[in-house]
């Protein structure tokens, strides 16, 4: 009976998600493409393929907070307006991809040359470097294969099939949260207690929101105040599923990079009394 109820709720939520997206159901992407961002603000104008950004590889190394708060990437694709000059100057992608910084003892390649992109693309060595990121629509072989890289990570049903919370908790990924010269010095994060959120649908299990689990990846600044303005316990705010499916509140991450909201039981986890 419980499994039937969960199945029915999942179907209803999937239908609701389709309606929230204008009645068109999105095709489920391959696991390695879940969360992939195609950046094409300037590429077409200089005869380069759009940039492909693989969230799965970067989230295995860095916290979301570091990139979206300290470095300053927008939460929506193509809202940042990154240029090659930005990267060459040490901003955005160039914060880490500067040819000097290392990760796990390996030097991180420089993202963009200081010279103009069209001129750089005429140099075979520079063209090869450009193609590491400007790879949309190209048959480029990635250095890190998704299936091989994540083969031993704990699995879950949806999204890219990886239980990232369990993976981090088991120490299989060690996240960098701060960079010298980029991140400000702050007090250690102290997680508030878990919060219980009552759903609007009768009979639906309560949501158990874990500040501790979200804090590992997001800290406080990624969610407050932009996504969730109030942090007061007595503040009453209604977060509807349609708004979430439309990319607001929880939907800013869930359904784009974090696990999708059709995996009902991961949030609605408090048994109905």
Cis peptide before 225 (omega within 30 of 0): yes
Q: Which residues contact 168 (CB under 8 A, 6 or more apart)?
A: 175, 216, 217
Residues constituting the chain: 273
In order of 19, 23, 123, the CA distances from 26 in angstroms are 11, 10, 40
Per-domain residue ranges of the chain: 31-146
In order of 2, 107, 208, 263, the CA distances from 134 in angstroms are 47, 20, 40, 33
Distance CA 100, CA 106 (A): 10
What tens-digit pLDDT sequence spans the chain (273 residues)? 455 444 445 545 554 544 444 445 567 899 999 999 999 988 888 888 999 999 999 999 999 999 999 999 999 989 999 998 999 999 999 999 999 999 989 999 998 886 655 555 567 777 778 888 999 988 767 789 999 999 999 999 999 999 999 999 999 999 999 999 999 988 877 888 998 988 888 888 999 999 999 999 999 999 999 999 876 665 566 788 999 999 999 999 999 999 999 999 999 998 776
> Using an 8 Å Cβ cutoff, are 61 and 175 in contact?
yes
> Using an 8 Å Cβ cutoff, are 229 and 188 in contact?
no
What does CATH list as the number for 31-146? 3.90.10.10
Distance CA 65, CA 212 (A): 14
DSSP summary character for residue 231: -
């Amino acid at each position: 009976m419980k499994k039937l109820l969960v199945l029915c709720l999942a179907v209803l939520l999937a239908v609701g998600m389709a309606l929230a997206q204008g009645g068109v159901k999105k095709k489920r992407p391959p696991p390695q493409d879940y969360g992939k961002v195609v950046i094409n603000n300037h590429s077409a104008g200089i005869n380069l393929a759009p940039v492909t950004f693989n969230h799965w590889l970067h989230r295995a190394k860095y916290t979301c907070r570091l990139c979206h708060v300290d470095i300053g990437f927008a939460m929506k694709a193509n809202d940042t307006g990154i240029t090659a000059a930005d990267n060459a100057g040490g901003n955005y992608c160039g914060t880490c991809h500067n040819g000097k910084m290392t990760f796990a003892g390996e030097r991180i390649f420089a993202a963009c040359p200081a010279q103009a992109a069209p001129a750089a693309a005429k140099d075979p060595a520079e063209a090869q470097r450009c193609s590491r990121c400007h790879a949309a629509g190209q048959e480029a072989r990635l250095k890190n294969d998704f299936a091989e890289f994540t083969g031993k990570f704990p699995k879950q049903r949806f999204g890219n099939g990886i239980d990232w919370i369990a993976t981090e908790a088991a120490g299989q990924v060690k996240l960098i949260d701060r960079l010298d010269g980029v991140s400000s010095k702050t007090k250690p994060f102290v997680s508030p207690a878990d919060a219980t959120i009552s759903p609007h649908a009768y009979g639906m299990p309560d949501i158990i929101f874990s500040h501790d689990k979200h804090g590992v990846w997001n800290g406080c600044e990624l969610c407050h105040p932009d996504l969730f303005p109030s942090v007061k316990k007595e503040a009453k705010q209604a977060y509807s599923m349609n708004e979430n499916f439309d990319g607001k509140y929880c939907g800013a991450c869930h359904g784009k990079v974090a696990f999708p909201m059709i995996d009902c039981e991961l949030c609605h986890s408090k048994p109905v009394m």
